[in-house]
Amino acid sequence: MRQLWLAAIIAIALAGCGLDYASDCATVDLGAGDSAECTMPGYTDRAFDVRVPAGWDGSSPLPLIVALHGGGAYKGAGETVTCPGGDRSDPLCLGNLAVARGYALVYPNGSGSRPLRGVRTWNAGGRSNGFVCGFGAACELDVDDVRYIEDMFDEVAAAIPIDAARVYATGISNGGAMTHRLGCELRARFAAIVPVAGTNLYADSGGACDVSIPILDLHGTEDPIWAYAGWPDKNGGYWSGADETMENWRVRNACAETFVDEALADRASDGTTAMRRRWDGCAAATERIRIEGGGHTWPSGNQYASTGTIGSVPRDFGSELILDFFDAHSL
């Protein structure tokens, strides 16, 4: 089984190590279609990017998506990994689809080493009850990334008005695991979450998570980086699997044990198929897309390394399904 540090190395190669030239969000005059890089007061080298939809009238509160990069990457890679061929001008990128629907987006930075600005991780929790500490230095140093995201909202609000009833989180890998943790700890902020290729190490290992929140979880069955079924690492710790994580969300969201499965249209000859499951009777929508043959990848996103290294990108659907889920939920 490949270890998650491999994903970090790949992400570094993918993301690059560009320097930050950020401004105080309070001094940024964002208009329709603009983007900016904003500093985070009190945090060293953790600027975030913000994008505003072109159709914005300049005053109405905007729905907001928080998009979290994977482990070992940085904020720019949080968008690139969602783009076909890694082309950030492609209209099928998560961000481009989102702004076309009227969403604003923020791409935060995990914590990392200043000399290697592309090497960042999120403290997605774990460490208890035999589970691994996920992920890397951020978890080992117990970085308060939940507080960082909370403080980031204040900075974003200094630049644009936010529709507090329509704030969402998504992310891949370590960012997906952090998305689960945000759903647990910042339920009052987020209307729904969509983790990709990452499980809920925080709650599965015993972290406090007594909330109900709409969730759509995406995970490939042939993910060689974050195994669908979970696995023990070489040091004896345990990574939870996708089914384990979703069973725990089913219980928290007060769903019945029954469900409806729907096969998604097999539109591409990519070696993958997808099955969407919706549990019955839930207090909050609880859904998963199990991607048969899918790898450690974003649907219709970038094949950022060989299939032998990260598995296959599913092409039957893309970020539009994530946005459809967000569209359907508000606080």
Residue spans of the domains in the chain: they are 4-327
Cβ(64)–Cβ(166) under 8 Å? yes
Q: What is the pLDDT of residue 307?
A: 96
Rounded to whole angstroms, the Cα distance separating 155 from 162 reads 11
What angle in degrees, to the nearest 10, is found between the helix axes of 174-185 and 145-159?
80
pLDDT interval class at 4 (50, 70, 90): very low
Asked if the model's pLDDT at residue 93 lies above 60, the reply is: yes
Question: Coil, strand, or helix at residue 249?
Answer: helix
Asked if the model's pLDDT at residue 32 lies above 60, the reply is: yes
Rounded to whole angstroms, the Cα distance separating 167 from 160 reads 13
- Burial (CB count <10 Å: 0-12, 13-18, 19+), residue 180: buried
Q: What is the pLDDT of residue 116?
A: 52
Asked if the model's pLDDT at residue 21 lies above 70, the reply is: no
Asked if the model's pLDDT at residue 200 lies above 90, the reply is: yes
Q: What is the pLDDT of residue 236?
A: 81
Higher pLDDT residue, 140 or 105? 105
pLDDT interval class at 2 (50, 70, 90): very low
Mean pLDDT of 175-184: 98
**Does 3.40.50.970 match the CATH number of domain 4-327?**
no
Asked if the model's pLDDT at residue 257 lies above 90, the reply is: yes
Q: What is the pLDDT of residue 135?
A: 83
Amino acid at the residue 150: E
Q: Which residues, at least 6 apart from 198, have a Cβ–Cβ distance to it below 8 Å?
A: 124, 171, 172, 173, 174, 175, 176, 177, 178, 179, 180, 226
Mean pLDDT of 240-251: 98
What's the whole-model pTM score?
0.94
Asked if the model's pLDDT at residue 210 lies above 70, the reply is: yes
pLDDT interval class at 86 (50, 70, 90): very high
Mean pLDDT of 56-71: 97
Higher pLDDT residue, 280 or 233? 280
Asked if the model's pLDDT at residue 115 lies above 90, the reply is: no
225: left (phi over 0), alpha (psi -120 to 50) or beta: alpha
